[in-house]
Amino acid sequence: QPVPDPFPTLSRFSPQEQRSLVAQLEAGESELERLRSVERDKLAQQDRSSQLEKEVAALREKIHHLDDMLKSQQRKVRQMIEQLQNSKSVIQAKDAAIQELKERVSYLEAENLEMHDRIEHLIEKQVSRGGLSSRARSKSEYVSR
């Protein structure tokens, strides 16, 4: 029994027409495969584009976070500089007060020494005149009175 022709309508065409139709079919299938490939590439590009958009958004968020951290650190540094300047001013004022007190102490020590010398001179004068009792008093006795 003969095998039935799967394309019975083709048998009515000449071999040249059949080759032409087969070539058109193959060209159509090739074009269809090319278009499907282009569509797959397009979908892959869309996926890649979507992925890149997500990465860009994440990077923008990180940059924003780092920018906030940097601004915070800059504020802290400015505050620390201000505190240091304030502390420096306080220290300078205290140094000036200390210097003034040192000068005052030096002045008072000089005055005290001068007073001791005067007292000693007066004691020597009175002893030489015989105005004191037989016992001479020490400087500390005169200073403590």
Task: Give domain status of residue 5, yes or no.
Answer: no
Domain membership flag for residue 4: no
Instruction: With respect to residue 34, please indicate whether it lies within any of the assigned structural domains.
Output: yes
With H, G, I as helix, E, B as strand and everything else as coil, classify residue 109.
Answer: helix
Residue 2 placed within a domain: no
What distance in Å separates the CA atoms of residue 113 and residue 102, rounded to the nearest whole number? 16
Residue 37 lies in a domain: yes
Cα(22)–Cα(24) distance, rounded to whole angstroms? Answer: 5
3-class SS of residue 134: coil
**Alpha-carbon distance 101 to 114, whole Å?**
20
How much helix, strand and coil, in percent to the nearest 5, is found in the chain?
Answer: 85, 0, 15
Name the domain count of the chain.
Answer: 1
- Report yes or no on 60 lying in a domain: yes
Asked, for residue 6, whether it belongs to a domain, the answer is no
d(CA 97, CA 90): 11
User: What pLDDT was estimated at residue 128?
Assistant: 87
In a domain, 3, yes or no: no
pLDDT-derived band of residue 11, with 50, 70 and 90 as boundaries? low
Sign of CA dihedral 37, 40, 44, 46: positive
For the segment 29-70, what is each residue's pLDDT rounded down to a tens digit? 999 999 999 999 999 999 999 999 999 999 999 999 999 999
pTM for the full model?
0.48
pLDDT in tens, 65-123: 999 999 999 999 999 999 999 999 999 999 999 999 999 999 999 999 999 999 999 99
Quote the domain boundaries for residue 98. 13-144
Query: Could you give the C-alpha distances from 143 to 118, 120, 138, in angstroms and in order?
Result: 11, 11, 9
